[in-house]
């Protein structure tokens, strides 16, 4: 991680769960982090907690379904904090609905956050890296559901368009890697695909259904995924981890 000490990282979905854990680990490693989230008060609380660490966490409120807000946020980052060296596209949502009778507005929001926001943030981060000659790294957080669609534990805990959005994340990473390779760029792209993680992702589902799934399937902790992200970042510049799949021991999904 020494190569990133003092550099600037952007982490989306940094208020809770995986994003908060990654932001915390980076700050503790001496990296300055912009934590993007809707619930900025949670990032502010984390920033206060980390105030004595070698890095610094800068909270930034942004609705990732709004492209102009994303553009404004990256403009503020560039003008206030400097160029981006690391981007962690982590923000993700899932709604309790089905494909057979669900609300298309909710499906659209899932793709806006899980896919389109990744594209916009990546575009803006790469612009910053290229403008400043930085051989940075982008980590896209996908999911094992981006590889195969699981049969969930109960009929109520359906995940509708979520696997499709995570398949898209993996495909976008491959496409971006091909583009950068054709440009002979040294910017690296990695995809991190965790299994089920104990996070707020399923907050839109009935609590008893989530607990049922938790009792059947082993789960990762957010810190496990954060450690995997730091492993990716710890590799030398000539090494690119194309994808890292992370499952808890015993998980069948």
**Which residue numbers are catalytic?**
162
Strand, helix or coil for residue 222: helix
Nearest one of 247, 226, 253, 222 to 145, comparing CA atoms: 253
Contact 47, 57 (CB under 8 A): yes
Please provide the DSSP assignment of 91-150 as one string: -----S--TTT--HHHHHHHHIIIIIHHHHHHHHHHHHHHHTT---EEEEE--GGGTS--
Nearest one of 100, 116, 229 to 165, comparing CA atoms: 116
Treating both helix axes as pointing N-terminal to C-terminal, what angle do 67-80 and 117-131 enclose, rounded to 10 degrees? 30
CB hemisphere CA count around 79 (13 angstroms): 6
Give phi and psi for 66, each to the nearest 5.
Answer: -115, 105
């Amino acid at each position: 991680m020494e190569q990133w000490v003092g550099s600037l990282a952007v982490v989306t979905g940094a208020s809770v769960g995986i994003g908060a854990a990654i932001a915390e680990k980076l700050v503790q490693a001496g990296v300055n982090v912009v934590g993007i989230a809707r619930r900025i008060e949670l990032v502010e609380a984390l920033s206060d907690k980390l105030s004595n660490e070698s890095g610094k966490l800068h909270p930034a409120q942004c609705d990732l379904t709004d492209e102009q807000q994303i553009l404004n946020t990256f403009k503020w980052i560039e003008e206030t904090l400097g160029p981006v060296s690391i981007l962690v596209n982590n923000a993700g949502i899932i709604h309790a609905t089905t494909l057979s009778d669900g609300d298309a507005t909710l499906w659209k929001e899932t793709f806006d956050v899980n896919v389109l926001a990744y594209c916009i943030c990546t575009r803006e981060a790469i612009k910053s890296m290229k403008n400043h000659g930085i051989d940075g790294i982008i980590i896209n957080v996908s999911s094992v559901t981006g590889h195969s669609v699981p049969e969930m534990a109960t009929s109520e805990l359906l995940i509708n368009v979520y696997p499709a959005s995570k398949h898209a994340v993996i495909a976008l990473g491959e496409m971006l890697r091909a583009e950068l390779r054709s440009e002979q760029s040294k910017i690296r792209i990695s995809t991190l695909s965790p299994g089920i993680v104990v996070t707020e992702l399923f907050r839109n589902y009935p609590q008893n259904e989530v607990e049922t799934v938790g009792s059947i399937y082993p789960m990762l902790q957010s810190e496990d995924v954060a450690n995997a992200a730091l492993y990716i970042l710890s590799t030398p510049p000539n090494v690119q981890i194309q994808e890292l799949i992370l499952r808890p021991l015993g998980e069948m999904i």
